Amino acid sequence: MSDVSFPALGTTAHLLVTEPAMLATAEALLREFLDDLDLACSRFRPDSALSTVNSQGGGSDVDPVLFAALEVALQAARDTDGLVDPALGRCLVALGYDRDFGSVPKASRRRVRPLRPVATWREITLDASARSVTLPAGVQLDLGATAKAWAADVAAREIAGRLDCGVLVNLGGDLSIAGPAPAGGWGVRVTADHRISTGGQVVALRSGGLATSSTTARTWKRADEVLHHVLDPATGLPAQRIWRYVSVAAADCVTANTAATAALILGHRAPEWLGERDLAARLVAADGSVTAIAGWPHEAELSTVEVA
């Protein structure tokens, strides 16, 4: 096995392959794809296709990568009955998340003025024949809940198919697996922040995707309020902190990340919702207590309470 990490999409890309000789080619493929994805889907680049659509309220003959990402985002919205909604870009901007997260001031005395959502994903229309998108008035798109996960799925599958080896693509904690897994599976530590290599739990995965959504990793403070980036579409405000973080394993990373994000928004109803869908999940509550759902393996350690 061999691996490489590099910055991408405002986070870290971690690529692992089972055949060390394939790593350089795999890395080149992944870097090119992520460059294309960033140029298509970044909310923070004025030259991105998404920025153009957001500023013009839509467009026709839009970038095909953006169009594909939009279809995925709207499918996630439909699958969650709107819990995961790409129409919240303007609400995020109002809360202060208006640039690459690394550049967002982490504390300010200024109080934010939240915006209630003026429309939902249901009012967004796509036309595949013209590759056009129309946004409701006052809506800007944010693809943060699905684009990275989708990219991980696409990249893992494409690289594994072309290079005929096992591949794991991890984009800031959204990871996807394709091709043959190493003996014992891919060891993955689930934790509150993908940059932390302690705590949480290590599990083995052989296929599919795994994602973690957190209310503690991407936070900033305005006046006396600590804000985070997972918004409740019903209010346009950060979801209540019932869960510190939720990890979900599924057939692909988009499914896993969509479900993990939905779980944060659902709060106390999340275990039942995940169980109904037979999605293996690990939920860590605000007090550190751990709940395992639908086949998620129990902790090897004695403690089932995580220290913050």
Identify residues 225-284 at the interface with another protein (CB under 8 A): 245, 247, 249-252, 254-255, 258-259, 262, 276-277, 279-280
Residue in 104, 179, 214, 231 binding another protein, rule: CB under 8 A: 214
Residue 191 in tokens: 């934790």
Residue tagged 């932390």 (tokens): 196
Residue tagged 């796509």 (tokens): 126
Q: Which 47-66 residues touch another protein, going by CB under 8 A?
A: 64-65
- 237-238 and 231-232 as β-strands: parallel, antiparallel, unpaired? antiparallel
Contact range with another protein by CB under 8 A, out of 10-18, 43-51, 90-98, 234-242: 10-18
Residue in 21, 24, 202, 308 binding another protein, rule: CB under 8 A: 202
CA-CA distance, 284 to 247, in Å (whole number)? Answer: 9
Contact range with another protein by CB under 8 A, out of 9-17, 43-51, 53-61, 106-114: 9-17
Distance between terminal CA atoms of the chain? 32
Tell me the site size for another protein, rule CB under 8 A: 105
Q: Does 79 bind another protein (CB under 8 A)?
A: yes
Of 81 and 113, nearer to another protein (C-beta) is 81
Q: How far is the CB of 298 from another protein (least distance, A)?
A: 7
Q: Which 16-35 residues touch another protein, going by CB under 8 A?
A: 16, 28-30, 32-33
Query: Would you tell me the crossing angle of helices 23-41 and 49-56 to the nearest 10 degrees?
Result: 10
Query: Would you tell me the crossing angle of helices 64-79 and 147-163 to the nearest 10 degrees?
Result: 120
Q: Does 186 bind another protein (CB under 8 A)?
A: yes
Instruction: Give which of 276, 242, 248 is closest to 81, Cα–Cα.
Output: 276
Asked if residue 272 lies in contact with residue 294, where contact means CB atoms within 8 angstroms, the answer is no
Contact range with another protein by CB under 8 A, out of 50-58, 89-97, 107-115, 216-224: 216-224
Residue in 106, 111, 116, 162 binding another protein, rule: CB under 8 A: 162
Q: Does 300 bind another protein (CB under 8 A)?
A: yes
DSSP collapsed to 3 states, 97-165? CCCCHHHCCCEECCCCCCCCCCCCHHHCEEECCCCEEECCCCCCCCCCCCHHHHHHHHHHHHHHHHHCC
Three-state DSSP class for 242? coil
Q: Does 197 bind another protein (CB under 8 A)?
A: yes
Q: Which 97-156 residues touch another protein, going by CB under 8 A?
A: 121-122, 124-129, 146, 148-150, 153-155
